[in-house]
Chain A
Amino acid sequence: MALADSLETLRSDPSLPGEFTTWHFDPPRAADYVPFPVAVSQALVDALSGQGIAQLYNHQATATEAVISGKDVCVVTPTASGKTLCYNLPIVQAILEQPETRALYIFPTKALAQDQLDELHGLITAAGADIKTFTYDGDTPADARRSVRSAGHVVITNPDMLHTAILPHHTKWVKLFENLRYVVIDELHQYRGVFGSHVSNVIHRLRRICRFYGSDPVFICCSATIANPAELASRVIGKEVTLVDNNGAPSGGKVTALFNPSVVNRELGIRRSALMAAREIADRLISGGSQTIVFAPSRVSVELLLTYLRQGVKKPLGGPEPVEGYRSGYLPNERRDVERRLRSGELRAVVATNALELGIDIGGLEAAVVAGYPGTVASTRQQFGRAGRRNDLAFSVLVAGSRAIDQYVVNHPEYLLEEPPEAGLIDPDNLQILASHVKCAAFELPFSEDEDFGSFGQEILHVLAEAGVLNLSGGRYYWMAESYPAEQVSLRTAQIDNFVIIESGVKPRVIGEVDRPAAPVLIHDEAIYMHGGQQYHVDRLDWEEKKAYVSRVNVDYYTDANLAVDLKVLDSFAEESEPRALHAHGEVAVTYLATIFKKIKLETQENIGWGKIHLPQEDFHTASYWLAFSPEASTGFDQEALQEGLWGIAHLLCNIAPIFLMCDARDLHGVAQVKSPFTDRPTVFVYETVASGVGFSSHLFAIRQELLHSARTAVARCQCSAGCPACVGPDYEGRVVSKRVARELLERLQ
């Protein structure tokens, strides 16, 4: 059955647990071809013709011309539009003309680097050129590193490796740095928020070292569609870029739909589970013969969906699984295998987290089912983009969850389909981030007394010299410590010290990894950890050794851990008092403590037991915006009602803020305190989940009136009676006055 037929049936299937709120069709688009730019040599043109590329798409030619003329560019085109040629073509051309030329490719992950290496090899082989390309990452064997450093024309790496291994050892890379003419930064949109702020500083360090060796490379950035690609690119690389977005690639037409699971209980605002609805839709698509990717919001939900979908698809006797999972925590070779089987078409469906949102080459699939709003428009479009073929129809659907933001999106399709997606925000001048990179940069090359780095480079150098970490000698700051600063700075918020999961037995075997923040809730003692559709019982978590010992089980439940959160204000950076409220932002200490876990029955989702978790608490310092109510503004409610109302506001603000900040919903969390020890008043906190923060809280402080206005509007317009996920949060565990109190509190501030 062709996809079109599947869709026809799907659209009018009354047995689906909900309804399609939108059914949008993008007609097929023809390719926009242009001839090769004259600067491209005949050898290369012939090589490409041999690969079936007789002409270029419009954007490829524009990018090539711009790069050849020495302009920094940012290429923005959809998935599978041939963007890699935008940089491979001018760079291979440059190396052919001048064999000394070197280029550095930076991809956010190792997996992507490997993928690109294969593609670049293809072009080089076809052109018959003697161009050496290498990946340089944690997997590069020690004995191969020397030749990569001296002989590699194109070195493919990731920001972390550049940060810890290449820049601090730049003297070993003299050949590369002296001749570095091009730097490619692919998947630029990944470099947002804290990660992006770090990467921007790493690039700044890279350019500083290039200057030392007398080179000034051209940057070629590639981004998925975001609101401000050129702005983000220029902030990351520290100079203006030319935007290339005249996409000339064809498309085979596409249906985009939004699905809202039906309401189970209007009073409670509870809807059917998005996961279950996604399962129903995916089941139908897969059995209709369409190769399908299902995106799930978390690692646990990937495993749940995988289990369900495998029930629906018959596994051929003795043959490979037709449905696989793909998420962080799977070992690299498992992932490579899934990628390969997707490309070959052997795999009929894959359930993934956003790990597959990245540009990993899995070919264009026919259908993408996104279970739950991924948090950003850009991310949703990336996931949708996984379904798309040059000549055939493709289908993507978002199944809304019951969160406020999901409900907003599913009821406002224009937000997802027409509005520009989020902006990529970074704050490279964030003091903590900047200071750590000033240290790294000072280690790499002594700073002079008049050299800038970010907005406060000299100020930071001064305090470092004051403390003796740097020594000012002959007008330069010299590193004067035994430490290796790059090792103390992780670019990613997820800490690098992973926990390994070991299946006990005669021959213990590592089955996967979990990053540290997730460990207390995923692999505490007695947790059911799911991997590849198989359940494992965690027999023992060795917190010190970072190892979880598990054994295979087959039970009818999974576990869900509760995380208790406590917040203390350390410092207030700015405050604004109104007659009835105090707004502020500042530094807070947040404590996470995994307390208990629930056992939840598969299929029925009922709670069938619980247990205590005994693990040390995790502390981190971050930035927060807070809103404290004056006694007049909060009078007339009893303690309990006030608590409910404040939690409701916290919920509401966390739901609404991402739309203003254009950040990921997971970047913010809320806490409510009836009597905050710091303000001494009823207070709602919206804090950043990234240690130290990236400036979201000061932004919230600045737009506080708009934020409160939207909150009032949202709660006033919501149809539910006493609170629902779309406004102040679902009314559960006896919270009945939440919505009324929240609304009243907010209105008193007007």
Chain B
Amino acid sequence: MTILRRPRDDFARQLRAAAGVSESSIRPPQVADVCADFLVGGVWEDTPHGPALYLERKYDLADGHGSFALSELLEVDREALSQLGCATSPQQLLFLDVETTGLNGGTGTLAFLVGAARLLEDRVVLRQYFLARPHLEPAMLAGLTNFASGTTQVVTYNGSSFDIPLLESRYTLARQTGPVVERPQLDLLHPTRRFYSRSLESCRLKDLEQEILGLERGSDIPGWAVPQVYFSFVREGVVGLMPAVMRHNALDVLSLITLLRKLGGLVAGEPYALPSEAIELARLAYLRGDVDESLALHQAALELSTGPRLRAFALARHLRVLKRSERWPEVRDLCLEEIRRGLATHDVYIEAAKACEHHTGDLKLAMRLVERAILRTQMRTHHGEMLAQLEQRQARLRRKLARRKHKEEAASRRPLVVSEITRLPLPAQSLA
């Protein structure tokens, strides 16, 4: 019989199929050109782990970056900076941002560009260590260690969960110790979120630059496109958008300087514009022990607040300070004012009722508040546990009011003498 036979495919094809590699993706490898235009002026630094390539840019202190000059950070009150978590003088800070081959983490993700800046007496120095070939990573890390010497704190944006752990992993893989990753961190994302997440739609560095740092980047490469640019460079020597990546990274690093300047300025007493700024300043004031300042800032935040959500938050914070300071009549009055103006949320009714019931002793007022709250709640379609809790509160108030009434009546009666007691009529049951 004739045998049907298809030619057996070659082993390489099988291997590609097994490895999930499509035939069309195969390209002859090219060695990346380390003399590409964007690397002109690059310096090869000798390290014990080989040569490290970096580009250095120097900025005049008077240079502007958005609304601020770089020098302005030096003028911010040190005490204000320390309230933001800055433990040292600006000259000992290392401002750092990395560009990576992915966001997934794990030891297969490389940091191919590390931008780091320092403030010196007369200028700002920004160094960008670039991984021209993957195997040069140990040298790059050693170079970064050199550049960081003399600094004592690293400033990043979201570095505590991304840049720093990633570098830590790279140092471990290179079997080097990395002062950069062992140092205390100042991750500006956290204070920034506290200052702005309630006023701005996003706290991405780029959006902050536009909204509060007065910096317009113009055309900038989106973060998601960055890894592919590096892959093309390393695989095929394509320069492509790499200059844009370098610029993107440089701007990120410089913005760290002006962002710290902006936040420090606010803490030091510069005028604020947004309610969320006032709320965070109020929190810092409270932490300093300055209750009156904190309350004044909350009051200002309430006046600035436009949206109901932000207003509710400002009010809750305000009430928290008042409650911790045990200023109960003010708690009550603030809530009542909010109710009078028709702005109160469910929580405001509860806070008011609690203050009246437990602290100022206005049981009747508490009762009225609870009754109003019940009415409001009944009108809602989804009230979950709210109604049950209110009714519990109502029942308790009813008992308390009854008890109080009883006590008041008792107090108003004159004391009975024994002889009179014996003449009182006995309740019917006790005869049975």
Contacts and interface: CB of A to CB of B under 8 A. Distances in A.
Contacts of A169: 105-107, 169
A88 B22 CA distance: 48
B12 A463 contact: yes
A31 to B, nearest CB: 49
B329 interface: no
Interface string B1-42: 101111011011011111111100111010000000000000
Contacts, number: 138
A459 B1 contact: no
B136 interface: yes
A735 B348 CA distance: 79
Contacts of A703: none
A647 interface: no
Interface string B158-201: 00000000001100110000000000000000000000000000
Interface stretch (A306-314, A441-449, A508-516): A441-449
Contacts of A472: 29
Interface stretch (B113-121, B202-210, B227-235, B397-405): B227-235
Contact of B107 (A168, A474, A483): A168
Interface residues of B, number: 43
B157 to A, nearest CB: 21
Contacts of A438: 19
B21 A471 contact: no
Interface in B228-252: 231, 234-235
B3 A467 contact: no
Contact of B19 (A435, A444, A582): A435
Most buried by A among B25, B136, B235: B235
A573 B231 contact: no
Interface residues of A, number: 59
B414 interface: no
B234 A480 contact: yes
Contacts of B308: none
B276 to A, nearest CB: 28
A471 B14 CA distance: 21
Interface string A448-485: 00000000100110011111110111111011111111
A575 B18 contact: no
A725 B425 CA distance: 96
B104 A484 contact: yes
B254 interface: no
Nearest to B171: A171
A487 to B, nearest CB: 8
Interface string A17-55: 000000000000000000000000000000000000000
A9 interface: no
Nearest to B112: A480
A7 interface: no
A719 interface: no
Nearest to B166: A171
Contacts of B172: 171, 174
Contacts of B156: none
B231 A474 contact: no
B133 interface: yes
A318 interface: no
B104 A483 contact: yes
Given A571-B6, A572-B6, A464 B1 contact: no
B128 interface: no
A460 B9 contact: no
Contact of B16 (A443, A463, A484, A574): A463
Interface in B209-232: 227, 231
| Most chain A C-beta atoms within 10 Å of own C-beta, residue among B6, B9, B11, B106 | B106
Contact of A471 (B16, B26, B169, B234): B234
A630 interface: yes
Nearest to A465: B29
A498 B385 CA distance: 33
A572 B8 CA distance: 7
Contacts of B110: 478-479
Nearest to A165: B106
Contacts of A168: 106-108
Contacts of A463: 12, 15-16, 19, 21
A474 B135 contact: yes
Interface string B320-337: 000000000000000000
Interface string B394-423: 000000000000000000000000000000
B101 interface: yes
Contact of B173 (A171, A465, A473, A483): A171
Contacts of A59: none
B107 A170 contact: yes
Contacts of B16: 463, 467
A579 B2 CA distance: 10
8 contacts: A459-B15, A464-B19, A466-B26, A471-B235, A473-B134, A478-B134, A479-B110, A484-B104
Interface of A: 168-172, 174, 431-432, 434-436, 438-439, 442-446, 456, 459-460, 463-469, 471-476, 478-487, 571-575, 577, 579-580, 582, 630-632, 678-680
Given A442-B108, A575-B5, 13 more contacts: A169-B105, A436-B20, A460-B15, A463-B15, A465-B29, A467-B26, A469-B21, A472-B29, A473-B133, A473-B234, A479-B110, A574-B8, A630-B1
